[in-house]
């Protein structure tokens, strides 16, 4: 099924990635490029919400390599990355990857429920306007 990328709100503060069914790393790279293009078109940084609640597969082969690449793609205009996933393996993997890339720990939040994601995103949703592109 893949990954759908879209603005969550009309004010272009939050980009949502919705995973559905089985996905591949190629689809993740495509979603990342789409996300970067949306931020460039909007002319300001944005938060990215990755929703994996409907994903049916865990991490495909090559996770550490691909996650390292993806973490660095487009991060200059990504204000925050919130990942909602029920897969325990992702949470364990994130602890390892963020242990290596400690400076990113402030910009990446891993949660298990949408309620936790909503709490993390509330300050961004309530902003009058997003900050300008740096």
Q: What length does the chain have?
A: 134
Residue bearing the bigger pLDDT, 48 or 133 = 48
22-31, 47-56, 70-79, 122-131: least confidently modelled range? 70-79
* pLDDT tens string 98-110: 677 666 667 888 8
Q: If you average pLDDT over every residue of the chain, what do you get?
A: 82
pLDDT(74) > 60: no
Q: Does domain 2-114 have CATH number 3.40.50.1000?
A: no
Helix (H) or strand (E) holding 6: strand 2-7
Which pLDDT does position 85 carry in this prediction? 87
List, for residues 6-37, the tens digit of each pLDDT value.
999 888 999 999 999 998 888 988 998 999 89
pTM: 0.82
- In the chain, what are the domain boundaries? 2-114
């Amino acid at each position: 099924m893949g990954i759908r990328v879209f603005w969550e709100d009309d004010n272009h503060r939050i980009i949502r990635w919705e995973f559905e069914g089985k996905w591949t790393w190629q689809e993740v790279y495509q979603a990342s490029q789409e996300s970067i293009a949306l931020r460039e078109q909007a002319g300001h940084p944005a938060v990215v919400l990755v929703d994996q609640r409907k994903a049916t597969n865990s991490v495909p082969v090559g996770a550490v390599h691909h996650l390292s690449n993806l973490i660095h793609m487009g991060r200059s205009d990504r204000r925050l990355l919130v990942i909602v996933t029920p897969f325990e393996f992702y949470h364990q993997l994130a602890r390892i990857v963020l242990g290596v890339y400690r400076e990113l720990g402030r910009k990446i939040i891993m949660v298990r429920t949408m309620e936790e994601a909503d709490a993390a995103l509330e300050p961004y949703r309530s902003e009058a306007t997003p900050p300008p592109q740096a």
